[in-house]
Chain A
Amino acid sequence: MTSNLDSREPSATDRATKRAYKREFVPGIVAYILILSAALIWGDLDGNSPARFVWAIVPVLPMVWVAIAVLRHIRRVDEYQRFLLLQGLGVGFALAMVASLTVGLLDVAGLSIPGSAWIVYAVGMLGWLVTAQVSARR
């Protein structure tokens, strides 16, 4: 039998933590999307201008902001939430390392995969996101 005591409503602490995270995370992601769009439109990334290297690097700056927001979130949450977050990050890191090693060894063997850095990035992010979603459902 369920009662209102079995409510799965988030606590006020949950809501405050989520608000603080969004307040720090969202500006970084919005800035990243805007700067990345600007770099793709005006950066002439596949051209010859020396400025293209600056344009290529600039989108990394807001991602540093995002990384700091994630680190601050990890420090803000309680011990169990921190365990879940670090588990997700750990899985993402391990998968990214395996992917990196795989494409690196294939490269040594003469099979160069175009855009391999993006594969490593995608595998790491996907590992983190999937683990976080699975943990959140438990």
Chain B
Amino acid sequence: MNNNLKTLREERGWTQGALADQLGVSRQTVNALETGRYDPALPLAFRIAHLFGRPIEAIFIPAPEDVRGQ
């Protein structure tokens, strides 16, 4: 899954640590999310969406293989 978390964070002038604190996660987790190494569970995805004031699907973009079978 792809996402534009890094763009959204940088638009607001936040460091990974600052975003991590607002989400209640570690900086390493934010880094893993931004680099696509980790996809969040729904509660964290909703927290991210709420923080940026956007729907989840505007932040996380599924890769073709994520929606295969539809």
Contact = CB atoms under 8 A, between A and B. Distances in A.
Interface of A: 4-14, 17, 77-81, 83, 136, 138
Describe A's contact surface by its main secondary structure: helix
Given A5-B9, A11-B27, 13 more contacts: A4-B15, A5-B16, A11-B16, A11-B17, A11-B18, A11-B20, A11-B25, A12-B21, A14-B20, A78-B29, A79-B25, A80-B26, A138-B37
Contacts of A80: 25-26, 28-29, 32-33, 38, 40
B13 to A, nearest CB: 7
* Max chain A Cβ within 10 angstroms of own Cβ: one of B13, B14, B28: B28
Given A5-B10, A13-B26, A79 B17 contact: no
Nearest to A17: B26
Contacts of B28: 14, 80-81, 136
Contact of A9 (B17, B37, B38, B44): B17
Nearest to A79: B41
Nearest to B39: A80
Contacts of A9: 15, 17, 27
Interface string B1-17: 00000000110011111
B32 to A, nearest CB: 5
* Max chain A Cβ within 10 angstroms of own Cβ: one of B17, B37, B44: B17
Contacts of B29: 78-81
B27 A14 contact: yes
Contacts of A6: 15-16
